[in-house]
Amino acid sequence: MPGSVTLDVHDSIAIITIENKGRLNAMDDAVASGLAAGIAEAKGNGDIGALVLRGAGSDAFCSGVDLKFAAEHSDRGTAFAKVSTHIDGFLADMADLPFPSIAMLHGVCYGGGVQLAMSADFRFAGASLRLAVPALKNGLLYPIAALERMMRLIGPSRTRRLILEGVLLPPERLLGWGLIDEIHRDDELEAAALEFAARLAAQPRAVMPHYMKILRALDVGDGAEARRLRKEAGGTIRRP
């Protein structure tokens, strides 16, 4: 049975949930297309002030591409390409959201699931989180955009450790590396993520989209674009 993605909106917070029962919320074609559709819908909803991305259940955020789905194709590359086409659209919309996003991580987070988590502005982890990028072990090349994002978040040396070793890492190590922002008990993770999302959603809606664009420009080292965006915003942003 294929996986699914749901979008729920509560009090100006969008919650996108990945569900693939028995597959640790792995991404098949249905999950990938659902993510693309869900984020597009959330992005176009003017009532939303923050977004939470999560996996269903207690066992996983997302374990990457569903290898059972891939095995159904004579060429594994074809299956990965199907998923990647949708995920590219999802990532593009995540990078252009007018409001902040939080990935809520617990249990397993592997491979492509790590790429999904890194696309969010913040990552909150449960104590059960075990994260790994086993692409090398599986004979796969990790997406360049994901490697670039990883290097910006944790630096070149730690990126090499994560990619070349491919071992499971606990949240305490990931917090020290800067890949996650906070650790909570599993039974408190959801409340913590939603409370943080509510605080972000309560910020001035007219100004938030400008900050999101400026911060993303700075994130990739484009100070000139950040200054242009600030100037373009004009009087919307109060000057000191």
CATH number of domain containing 110? 3.90.226.10
Name the token pair of 38: 């869900």
**Would you state the pLDDT for residue 135?**
93
> Residue 75 above 50 pLDDT?
yes
Q: What pTM was estimated for this model as a whole?
A: 0.93
Domains in the chain: how many in total?
2
How sure is the predictor about 213, in pLDDT bands with cuts at 50, 70 and 90?
A: very high
Strand partners, 5: 18
Mean pLDDT, to the nearest integer, of 153-177?
A: 97
Domain encompassing residue 233: 204-240
Whether 161 and 210 share a structural domain: no
Whether 222 and 168 share a structural domain: no
Whether 113 and 220 share a structural domain: no
Whether 95 and 40 share a structural domain: yes
Burial string for 61-85 (b: 16+ CB within 10 Å, else e) reads bbbbbbeebbeeeeebeebbebbbe
Closest CA to 5 of 25, 43, 29, 35: 35
> Residue 179 above 90 pLDDT?
yes
Helix (H) or strand (E) segment spanning residue 109: strand 108-110
Mean pLDDT, to the nearest integer, of 64-87?
A: 74
Whether 185 and 219 share a structural domain: no
The bridge status of strand 4-10 relative to strand 13-19 is antiparallel
Determine the Cα–Cα distance for residues 93 and 167; give it in Å rounded to an integer. 30
| Residue 82 near residue 29 (C-beta atoms within 8 A) | yes
Please list, in sequence order, all residues whose beta carbon lies within 8 angstroms of the beta carbon of residue 225, skipping any fewer than 6 positions away: 217
Whether 164 and 231 share a structural domain: no
Whether 149 and 123 share a structural domain: yes
3-state secondary structure of 5: strand
**Would you state the pLDDT for residue 240?**
45
Whether 170 and 131 share a structural domain: yes
Whether 21 and 110 share a structural domain: yes
Whether 158 and 86 share a structural domain: yes
> Residue 65 above 90 pLDDT?
no
Mean pLDDT, to the nearest integer, of 66-75?
A: 67
Backbone angles phi, psi at 155, to 5 degrees: 90, 165
Whether 168 and 240 share a structural domain: no
Whether 148 and 238 share a structural domain: no
Q: What's the chain's average pLDDT?
A: 93
